[in-house]
């Protein structure tokens, strides 16, 4: 693979779909919602980079891209890019989420992200019409986007927000054939699909990377050829997930390493139950309580709020106590 091609393909590892940070609400006349907090976004990005996280996904579903306007999306991505550069992380991998269905608007988002400094666009499946989006039409849609986009793209399959549209394993063969479609994120629980696409001999796996949106799938899918995870829980406990990824990538493992992989996968999977239970609000709450970054309860309607002290302690004791101890040791 040439150096140009290598630069075009996202690296293997752990990416974090970062939450978007907002200032406290204000009573300022004409201001309808909390303003974007780019400074805190930069601080959180640097925190993750220093912890060994491979790269970021800005403005994905966790990042509330649908709640930001065009200028805000540009300011956030360009601000993080400059902040990382200034902190000594030049060319740090950044994917930016595209959560819209129209071809023209999708290209507009990608053009903005390219100008802002993102290397890849993570483009959500156009599932507004559900089953009306046939597999063949999805392939044609992505090919048009990829052909026109100034940056390479990844396919983002999240059935939970796209009327349960599920891209089939055989469809990925067609998508991966396009030189500017360089990977996918599968945010669903079908491990078989991850494994099939990661191992399919008809796909050039040097040029098409498979990521799961769930850290609880990391070990099983990476062992069978996947590139890694784009994991929300790693936004607040990154080092444990990074360590698990490093061990899972090893081709040959001894008994001691296998035992550590089992231990880490257990605590990661248990911690992911916190995200399953509390969702985006839980991720933001955990980032605030664990890292001290952000404003408790910040967000934009209809997704804003916080956990009470008692609910936080309940979730922490049930799901996070074990990973908290390991994270502190790394």
Task: Quick: pLDDT tens for 159-178.
Answer: 999 999 999 999 999 999 99
How high is the pLDDT of residue 25?
Answer: 82
Q: DSSP state, 159?
A: G
Instruction: Select the highest-mean-pLDDT range: 2-11, 25-34, 41-50.
Output: 41-50
Domain boundaries, given as residue ranges, for the chain: 3-250
Range in 61-65, 129-133, 218-222, 281-285 with the lowest mean pLDDT: 129-133
H helical segments located in 87-186:
103-116, 135-148, 169-176
How high is the pLDDT of residue 4?
Answer: 52
pLDDT band at residue 3 under the 50/70/90 scheme:
very low
How high is the pLDDT of residue 126?
Answer: 96
The model carries a pTM of 0.95
Share of the chain above pLDDT 90, in %: 90
* 155 contacts 161 by C-beta, under 8 angstroms: no
Q: Which CATH architecture has domain 3-250?
A: Alpha-Beta Barrel (3.20)
- Tell me whether strands 94-98 and 120-124 are parallel, antiparallel or unpaired: parallel
Share of the chain above pLDDT 70, in %: 98
Contacts of 19 (CB under 8 A, 6+ apart): 62, 63, 64, 232, 235, 280, 283, 284, 287, 294
How high is the pLDDT of residue 28?
Answer: 81
What average pLDDT is seen over the chain?
A: 95
Rounded to whole angstroms, what are the CA distances from 229 to 31, 41, 103, 146, 234?
37, 21, 27, 22, 10
How high is the pLDDT of residue 252?
Answer: 73
């Amino acid at each position: 693979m040439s150096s140009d091609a290598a630069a075009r393909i996202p690296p293997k590892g752990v990416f974090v779909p970062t939450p978007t940070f907002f200032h406290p609400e204000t009573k300022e006349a004409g201001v309808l919602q909390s303003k974007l907090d780019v400074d805190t976004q930069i601080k959180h990005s640097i925190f993750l980079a220093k912890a060994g996280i491979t790269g970021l996904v800005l403005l994905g579903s966790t990042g509330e891209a649908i709640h930001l306007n065009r200028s805000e999306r540009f300011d956030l991505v360009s601000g993080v890019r400059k902040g990382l550069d200034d902190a000594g992380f030049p060319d740090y991998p950044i994917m930016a989420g595209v959560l819209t269905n129209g071809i023209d608007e999708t290209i507009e988002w990608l053009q903005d992200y390219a100008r802002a400094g993102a290397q890849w666009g993570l483009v959500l499946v156009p599932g507004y019409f559900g089953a009306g989006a046939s597999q063949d039409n999805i392939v044609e849609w992505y090919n048009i986007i990829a052909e026109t986009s100034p940056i390479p793209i990844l396919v983002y399959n999240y059935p939970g927000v796209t009327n349960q549209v599920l891209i089939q394993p055989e469809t990925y063969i067609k998508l991966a054939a396009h030189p500017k479609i360089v990977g996918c994120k599968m945010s669903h629980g079908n491990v078989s699909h991850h494994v099939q696409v990661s191992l399919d001999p008809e796909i050039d796996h040097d040029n098409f990377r498979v990521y799961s949106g769930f850290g609880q799938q990391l070990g099983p899918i990476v062992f069978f050829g996947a590139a890694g995870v784009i994991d929300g829980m790693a936004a607040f406990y990154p080092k444990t997930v990074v360590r698990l990824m490093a061990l899972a990538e090893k081709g040959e493992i001894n008994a001691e390493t296998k035992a550590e992989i089992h231990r880490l996968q257990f605590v990661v999977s248990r911690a992911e139950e916190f995200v399953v239970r509390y969702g985006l609000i839980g991720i933001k709450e955990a980032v605030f309580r664990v890292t001290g970054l952000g404003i408790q309860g910040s967000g934009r309607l209809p997704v804003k709020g916080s956990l009470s002290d008692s609910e936080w302690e309940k979730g922490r004791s049930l799901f996070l106590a074990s990973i908290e101890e390991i994270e502190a040791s790394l």
